[in-house]
Chains A and B, each alone.
Chain A
Amino acid sequence: MRRNTLSVISAVLIGCLSSLPTPAQHSSSPGPSTSPLAAEAGHALLDRYCSDCHNVVDWAGGIAYDTLDFDHISNDAQTWEKVVRKLRTQAMPPAGKPRPDKAGYDSLATFLETRLDAAATAEPNPGRPAAVHRLNRVEYTNAIRDLLGIEVDAASLFPADESSAGFDNDGDILSTSALLMERYLIAARQISRTAVGDPTLRPSTTTYDAPVTGLQLDRESEDLPFGSRGGLVVKHSFPLDGEYRIRVRLQRTKGIEGPRIIGVGEPHELDVRLDGKRIKLFAMGGDKDLRPDQVEDSLEVRFPALAGTRLVGVTFLDDALAPEGMQRPLQAAIQLRGWGPRDDSMRPPGVQSVSISGPYNVRSNPDSLRRNRLFVCRPGAATEEESCARRILAGLARHAYRRPVTAADIDSLIVYYRSGHDAAQDSNGHQTGEEGNRFQEGIRSALQAMLVSPDFLFRMELDPPDARGPYRISDLELASRLSFFLWTSIPDEELLQSAAAGRLAQPAVLEQQVRRMLADPRSKMLVEDFMGQWLGLRTLSTLQPDILAFPDFDDDLRAAFERETDLLFTRMLAEDRSVVDMLDAKDAYVNERLARAYGIPNVYGGRFRHMTLADQNRLGILGKGAILTLTSLPNRTSPVLRGQWVLTNIMGAPNPPPPPDVPTFPEKKDTDFTQLTVRQRLEGHRTNPACAGCHARMDPLGFAFDSFDAIGEWRKVESDPVFASPELPVVHTPIDSSGVLPDGTKVQGPAELRQVLMREPRNFVYVVSEKLLTYALGRGLDYHDAPAVRKIVTDAARTDYRWSSVILGIVRSTPFQMRAPVQTEAHPTPALKTAALGKSPRLATLAKSAGTVAPATGAH
């Protein structure tokens, strides 16, 4: 190991700063595989390509290599990790400056990584997720489902959770307010009443709305019968055995003499089904003068239903001969704007909403105790009640609290059991003497308390009393980390048992459990919850493309986008494909509506089917409507958004936010009717040096996708302005999807760009692993997590980056298995690295010429 020679500048600095406390000594040993030669070569590269800007005079980006100790890389791990990312993604030097060749980039990055990883192995810092981590509303909902078999609608029960680091399960920001606490109380009461089948439950109404711009011209769902058209199907939770009422409202239009139901002019038949079985067939319409109330008052059916979650379908019998999926252009616009056929009474009717009310005439069912999975025992005599209650509550609490329960846990629940038992009322609100009811109410009352208990609402990881440094978390904590990662829910009995027996941490057991959990249907949450947030797909539901620019966009297409990506990810996981396949898989799932948008012929009907794509431009997620739409603006494509999306999500090298005083994009002004395309207007980026640095990276990536319009349909020309104003001429400009990447690579169109991205699959796997680890830990990652992420990627490379190997890598990683206790977490960061200056003679000279250099902070 070479010693540093202190340069003049460092001597000056030490003179100035000698009163500062000396920085904490980090042990640092160069990695076994790095030779002094590699260090020498690496340093030469930095000197040649980087130091022109990153030096103590310019402090570009807050980094000056002459302040960093190249022999003790791990002392400045935070900075060097940034450098590694820039090298791996070739994000620096900026476009136009000389840059090293690929081998140069790789050798320096490898050198740095090897040293950083060795230091991390010697002294691991697993980080520290929040010790008290509130369940978010998705986790809460799933926990209730797995605990009690009840589906609850979290969106109507709880306010949305805020998110950070891209996910809404970040323990550091999941806070608790009085408002939320009130909601927990309300939810606990409703859920506990449903769980025990409380016969005093009052009727309530749930209303399900059909999407406003859904056209209802097709069979809407695979859960609706063939030959049906429009309507909707919902999963509804029926709390008790009893009678329920369904009311249907139909789409209406503004008539001259008040609102009119669409389609009343002709007779139609409306089919209502429960779990696929018809419970009512209404005949409606046939007279165009019918008022809405005359039609809808009769659209009400009362029927008996058993408690449980059931499918309710409401749909029209299809009376037209047109094949499924036929849609006339501008249909959505017509419907929304009220243009369309002159006579709305002759158009096909649509369902606006379905309301389900109940229960009425509840059957007090003595069997409910036996049937209900909650009641694992039934007291035969009054004297057996409490012991039975203890048994029931112990079983529930074990799963709700995700750990073996103590006698104290049960004792505190029994208090609620007794008060509920004694206060029980019958269905008329009178004190009841019936033992069955009293027992049931006791259990309900204890369950209600359990569901607002901190032991249920918070995942807690407590430091062992003697923890000095990073420690391995307990098996039970590991079980919870696993289940919330893979299922977004509580551990099941098998996982709990294995943890309680102390076997879960054994590598073979752990792997077997992970594989079992991935095979379980509950792992679909990885698709819904993780993928939905990671790729920003959740926001798809709130986007509304401009209806005049994109009259072809409607809720059916939006739903198809969502379904397509869901099915695609599900397949990737189920087949344990390579993570990299996300970029170039030939798989697609389309129905007729989506196939038409993609220009795929011969696909009929609403069912989604798997197909193998021939069109190179559509391969992988980058060719899918969902991503292309959510990276666009409502009225036009945005190469900038798409470019930044690729940088962030595929390459892992996002640009920083735009600097201040950026002139806004030259949208059309009232006085400026020049016919420039988006591309032409973006050319300004190239001429303005303040913009060029970042836009030289973003724009060409975005341009490559410009053949896809803002809702992901293929186009050859940009029509401008789109319907802006009737007096303006519409100009069609051919799309130019070519661009030059910062390293000089020329790309044209999506297919070519994808091939360029595929050259560095490791970057993509790195981003995926980073996101997945963030999600798994429920905390934002920091520089000290980078060695763990690299290990996950490197290990997964051996099995061609299969999903299971990445997921297993995360489960085995240091941050997932370990935790830093609170006292060792804060690493003192010295304001200036006084002992680490001036390695390069040229830099030393530079520094000297600048006189005394004492930047206020090393990084900003």
Chain B
Amino acid sequence: MLIFKKSIPRRSVLKGLGASIAMPLLDAMVPALAKPAETFKAPHRLAIVFVPNGMWPMDKWTPKAEGPLEITPTLEPLTAFRDRLVMVSGLAQKEALPQPGDPTSEHMRASGTFLTGVRPKQIKGEAHGGVSVDQLAAQQLGKDTQLASLEMSMMANHDLVGVCQNNLSCLFVNTLCWKNSTTALPMATNPRTVFERLFGDVDTTDRQEQLVRLREQKSVLDGMKQRAGSLIDKMGAADRARLDEYVDSIRDIERRIQIAEAQSDRELPKLQRPAGVPANFDDYYKMMVDLQVVAYQADLTRVMTFMMGREGPDGGLAYPHIGVPDVHHNISHHGGDPVKVEKLFRINQYHAANFGYFLQKLQSVREGEGTLLDHAVILYGSSLANANVHQDDNLPILLAGGANGRLKGGRHVRVPDRTPLTNLHLALLDMVDAPVDKLGDSAGKLDQIFA
């Protein structure tokens, strides 16, 4: 759990107005600080919450009828948010299907395809995928924030490196996010690392400490950029790539430092650096969610992807604390065994409850005229339906949030069978004003989901 050292001051001085005005909690952090509150326009935000190994039994997930959303047994923990949810049924990922020449790695393809619509491949040992929807959003939404995007998963202490199933790189199940077809983005698993990613190498979110650190980093990076430059000059063109990457990384950080300095009059929630990964799964989960909410709240990033577990047989999670000591993947191949199916249902409902915690946190933070939940759109779901047979159509997909008035909740939308999931991704990109025409296997945009 994050320890809030003190409550955020409710009274803060608006620069330029010369008057002390009572402010709603956290409004001091919106970007348009110098403008009066009425003209505040909330930024668009996108979040993706992924749950692994399908959603079985689907009849406890999908409502019977289209139209107004009926709360099904799996969704029961989300009852309070019924009006903020849109279920979309009928979507599929055709690129997850095996094709001639593919190894039998259904789970790898399922998670590698989820946000990209591109079949993951390994060419000469190197992992190839496609750009993912979150990264396309980040290209637009990340322009004004310190971090273009944030990638996190609950896989601390379950590190997987090297070769996974069928000699394929573990990369395909370690992350869902791809910056481009060859750069997969690692997911942070330790709350301490996430905190440091958001606030830097500081023990609290104290602004002064942060600025001192940033300046120190800046001077170190200046020198290193020069040094790398002089090394690059001595190298042949083919050898430079790795050092170019190093210089590019430095530039990224410098850009970030610039934004941070420009935003330095913005107040941050007072948090302490977490010690590490909590032993208790629920504590761990809450800490990771709290950090995500703070990242939105402080406008450090507007795009986040959160993997609640890793897809497939390699290094998967078990949930002994809810009475399911079995590794999730193993029982997802339930073979119709009612005991296993019941356990799967229990996991699904548990994930939904955890998702509910995220929604509730977002709703609790006011921003402008609404809450963070009103200003975000969140995609929740799994890349398989019945994992027992690696079913890749009729996927369990749920949207949440208001998308700044563009998403009307409380609905169940059924789309034609085997509509590509990427059609929905394109609609989401439209919703956050980061439109693109094509993503992976997309064939049109799923406009029905707009309010």
Contacts and interface: CB of A to CB of B under 8 A. Distances in A.
Nearest to B242: A132
Contacts, number: 214
A740 interface: no
Contact of A454 (B246, B256, B313): B246
Nearest to A445: B216
Contacts of B183: 175, 177
B249 to A, nearest CB: 4
Contact of A415 (B200, B223, B250, B278): B223
Nearest to A658: B104
Given A178-B252, A185-B201, A660-B99, A207 B275 contact: yes
A175 B245 contact: yes
B427 to A, nearest CB: 29
Contacts of A536: 163
B220 A449 contact: yes
Given A160-B186, A176-B245, A185-B220, A336 B320 contact: yes
Interface string A103-144: 000000000000000000000000000111110000000000
Given A164-B125, A547-B325, A134 B337 contact: no
A539 B250 CA distance: 34
Contacts of A170: 125
A664 interface: yes
A809 to B, nearest CB: 25
Interface string A188-202: 111000000000001
Interface residues of A, number: 93
Interface stretch (A667-675, A750-758, A845-853): A667-675
B334 to A, nearest CB: 8
Interface in B191-216: 192-193, 196-197, 200-201, 203, 216
A448 B243 contact: no
Interface stretch (A456-464, A484-492, A686-694, A698-706): A456-464
B186 A179 contact: yes
B103 interface: yes
A33 interface: no
Contact of A207 (B104, B223, B231, B276): B276
Contacts of A822: 236, 238-239
A415 B157 CA distance: 40
Interface in A156-207: 156, 159-168, 170, 173-183, 185-186, 188-190, 202, 204-207
Contact of B236 (A182, A357, A457, A463): A463
A209 B103 contact: no
A649 interface: no
Contact of A634 (B220, B239, B330): B330
B337 A724 contact: yes
A168 B253 contact: no
Contacts of B186: 159-160, 177, 179
Interface string A337-374: 11000000000000011010100000000000000000
Contacts of B253: 178, 181-182, 185
B239 A176 contact: no
Contacts of A166: 162-163
A181 B246 contact: yes
A661 B98 CA distance: 8
B430 interface: no
A452 B224 contact: yes
A474 B74 CA distance: 65
B186 to A, nearest CB: 4
A662 B223 contact: no
A542 interface: yes
A455 B227 contact: yes
B227 A453 contact: yes
Interface string B225-248: 001100100111011111101101
Given A132-B242, A183-B193, A660-B98, 20 more contacts: A159-B188, A164-B126, A166-B163, A178-B253, A186-B196, A188-B220, A204-B275, A207-B275, A209-B279, A212-B320, A449-B223, A452-B220, A453-B224, A454-B227, A542-B158, A542-B314, A546-B326, A634-B327, A660-B100, A661-B100
16 contacts: A131-B236, A156-B192, A162-B161, A168-B161, A173-B125, A176-B245, A180-B249, A186-B201, A412-B227, A415-B223, A542-B160, A546-B327, A547-B325, A547-B326, A780-B125, A822-B236
Interface of B: 98-104, 124-127, 157-163, 166-167, 169-171, 183, 185-186, 188, 190, 192-193, 196-197, 200-201, 203, 216-217, 219-221, 223-224, 227-228, 231, 234-236, 238-243, 245-246, 248-250, 252-253, 256, 273, 275-279, 313-316, 318, 320, 323, 325-327, 330, 333, 335-337, 339
Closest A-B pairs by Cβ, 4 of them:
A670-B336, A205-B275, A131-B239, A178-B252
